[in-house]
């Protein structure tokens, strides 16, 4: 029994290869555009966090200029704003004063919300007094609930680059912005005097000096 084969149209085969090449090029362009778009979105979120840190630090300065006290810690807040509870005036924003911090700023018409705000990267901003032995005073902290890691080391480095300069930008333990390991992430974010950029999971917490 003889099996007949159909003749191959060489022109058609060549045309198909050209089509395939065009499709692959188009897919590559689309993939590149998507990747670039993700990079731009990530960069915009980082810039938003930088602006948040600077905005809330400026808000504290405005409050101090007007009321001669720290928001949350203000011992005369109830006199200024009526029903709002006052702080103890010891210069340390701790305990219930952490929530009062946002309430006082809101009552003073400096910020629009009276609760801890979230960031474009997720998590929430809160206040931490002396979060470690070498970090004195009050700090604005950005983390997930319970101090869990929010930022990857790469994101934390991007924040450092936009806020601090020189050696302070490369050392997570120095500068206006301090980066620390999240709870249960020892060595996963900070490795000596630099960030552990090999890690790609969210292991970092950020602190901005007020």
- The domains located in the chain, with CATH, are 49-209 (3.30.1690)
Structure confidence at residue 30 (pLDDT): 72
Pairing mode, strands 122-129 and 138-143? antiparallel
Q: For tokens 């470690």, name the residue.
A: 132
What is the Cα–Cα distance from 173 to 168, expressed in whole angstroms? 8
Structure tokens at 62: 């405005």
Pairing mode, strands 122-129 and 177-181? unpaired
Structure confidence at residue 160 (pLDDT): 96
Per-residue pLDDT of the chain (210 residues; tens, 9 = 90+): 555 555 555 554 555 777 777 777 767 677 666 665 667 788 899 999 999 999 999 999 999 999 999 999 999 999 999 889 999 999 999 999 999 999 999 999 999 999 999 999 999 999 999 999 999 999 999 999 989 999 999 999 999 999 998 878 999 999 999 999 998 899 999 999 999 999 999 999 999 999
Structure confidence at residue 196 (pLDDT): 96
Q: Whole-prediction pTM value? A: 0.82
- Single out the residue of 209, 210, 206, 190 nearest to residue 198, CA to CA: 190
């Amino acid at each position: 029994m003889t099996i007949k084969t159909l003749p191959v149209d060489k022109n058609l085969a060549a045309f198909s290869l050209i089509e395939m090449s065009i499709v692959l090029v188009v897919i590559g362009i689309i993939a590149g555009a998507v990747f670039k778009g993700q990079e731009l979105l990530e960069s915009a979120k980082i810039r938003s966090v930088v602006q948040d840190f600077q905005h809330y630090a400026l808000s504290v300065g405005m409050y101090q200029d007007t009321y001669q006290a720290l928001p949350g810690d203000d011992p005369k807040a109830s006199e200024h704003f009526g029903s709002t509870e006052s702080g103890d005036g010891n210069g340390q924003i701790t305990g219930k004063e952490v929530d009062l911090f946002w309430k006082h700023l809101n009552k003073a018409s400096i910020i629009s919300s009276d609760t801890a705000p979230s960031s474009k990267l997720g998590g929430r901003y809160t206040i931490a007094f002396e979060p470690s032995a070498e970090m004195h005073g009050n700090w604005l902290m950005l983390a997930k609930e319970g101090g869990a890691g929010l930022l990857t080391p790469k994101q934390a480095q991007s924040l450092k680059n936009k806020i601090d300069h020189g050696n302070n930008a490369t050392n997570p333990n120095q500068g206006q912005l301090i980066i620390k390991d999240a709870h249960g992430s020892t060595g996963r974010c900070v490795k000596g005097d630099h960030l552990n950029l090999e890690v790609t999971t969210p292991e970092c917490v950020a602190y901005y000096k007020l």
